[in-house]
């Protein structure tokens, strides 16, 4: 979805399927903020046309891009000559458009941070705090700890969660990329009898969080919750919900689209996922 200064941009189609775009009129002298909540790659061409349009009709105006989720963020490295470094090339496209600033929320890795020009990184702290407060209300604030699935998440979020915490060490098959298991470093807080909120940046099918919850439950944890800043709709295809190990998922609407929210409602999962609007 694309917006300009909080007004939705309607993208229609000519008979040959090329875009017919009607961006809002902007007063001369006003800064322009193009907001992009990624849904599909076709939006890239619309973004280009909109940016070039305002350069022409509002010369000299500052134009910012709000892009809370970075598309292609997972492809932040290549392991062989056959791999396509999609994140790098996507960043080159955004840089070529020449925004005065590019604001992103909780980028997946330092590689993303390095590739984009004029990057402004927004902290997810207030969303993490909202999720923690919601969990605390549900469990009565009793014996609540944070859990980070790996050391990277621990370093990134331990100061933002402001809870006693444990963290995981993933065992992965590096040929397939699949997680085979997970061990828990309890960091001296103990897990048995504690309610837990797992905190991380992104979820696809949620294998990391399923294995985390499974291990935490084996160690005697009570209720388990999950916060991820960016949640792909593919989470419904994994074991996060089917295993019933996780009570509720908290996420923002950075990439969890209206379509995904509709799917959750139609399949009786609305009570299992709470979307925090940006």
Per-residue pLDDT 10s for the chain (278 aa) are 899 999 999 999 999 999 999 999 998 778 999 999 999 999 999 999 999 999 999 999 999 999 999 999 888 788 888 888 999 999 999 999 999 999 999 998 889 899 999 999 999 999 999 999 999 998 886 789 999 998 889 899 988 888 999 988 877 665 555 666 678 887 788 889 999 999 999 999 888 899 999 999 999 999 999 999 999 999 999 899 888 899 999 999 999 988 888 888 888 888 899 999 99
Q: What pLDDT was estimated at residue 179?
A: 63
pLDDT tens digits, 236-254 = 998 998 888 999 999 999 9
Identify the structural domains of the chain with CATH numbers, from first to last.
2-122 (3.40.50.2020), 125-276 (3.40.50.2020)
Gap between the Cα atoms of 148 and 157, Å rounded? 8
Beta strand pairing call for 119-122 and 101-105: parallel
Q: What pLDDT was estimated at residue 174?
A: 53
**pTM, 2 dp:** 0.90
Q: How far is CA 193 from CA 217, 225, 231, in A?
A: 10, 14, 28
Gap between the Cα atoms of 210 and 207, Å rounded? 5
> How large is the C-alpha radius of gyration of the chain?
21
b/e string for 240-252 if b means 16 or more Cβ within 10 A? bbeeebbbbbbbb
Count Cβ atoms below 10 Å from residue 74 Cβ, excluding itself.
Answer: 14
Helices vs. strands in the chain: H and E counts, helices first: 8, 15
Gap between the Cα atoms of 60 and 263, Å rounded? 43
């Amino acid at each position: 979805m694309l917006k300009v200064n909080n007004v939705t941009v309607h993208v229609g189609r000519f008979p040959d399927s090329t875009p017919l775009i009607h961006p809002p009129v902007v007063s001369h002298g006003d800064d322009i903020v193009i907001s992009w909540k990624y849904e599909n790659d076709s939006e890239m061409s619309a973004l280009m046309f909109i940016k070039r349009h305002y350069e022409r009709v509002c010369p000299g105006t500052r134009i910012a891009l709000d892009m809370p989720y970075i598309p292609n963020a997972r492809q932040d490295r290549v392991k062989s000559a056959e791999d396509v470094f999609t994140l790098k090339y996507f960043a080159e496209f955004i840089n070529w458009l020449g925004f005065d600033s590019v604001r992103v929320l909780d980028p997946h890795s330092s590689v993303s941070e390095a590739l984009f020009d004029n990057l402004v990184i927004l902290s997810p702290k207030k969303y993490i705090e909202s999720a923690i407060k919601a969990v605390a209300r549900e469990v009565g604030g009793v014996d609540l700890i944070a859990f980070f699935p790996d050391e990277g998440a621990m370093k990134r979020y331990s100061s933002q969660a402001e809870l006693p915490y444990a963290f995981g060490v993933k065992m992965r098959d590096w040929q397939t990329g699949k997680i085979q298991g997970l061990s828990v470093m309890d960091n001296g807080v103990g897990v048995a009898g504690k309610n837990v909120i797992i905190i991380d940046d992104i979820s696809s099918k949620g294998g990391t969080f399923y294995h985390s919850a499974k291990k935490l439950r084996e160690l005697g944890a009570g209720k388990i919750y999950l916060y991820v800043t960016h949640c792909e709709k593919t989470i419904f295809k994994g074991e996060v919900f089917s295993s019933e190990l996780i009570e509720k998922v908290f996420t923002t609407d950075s990439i969890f689209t209206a379509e995904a929210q509709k799917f959750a409602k139609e399949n009786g999962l609305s009570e299992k996922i709470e979307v925090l609007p940006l």
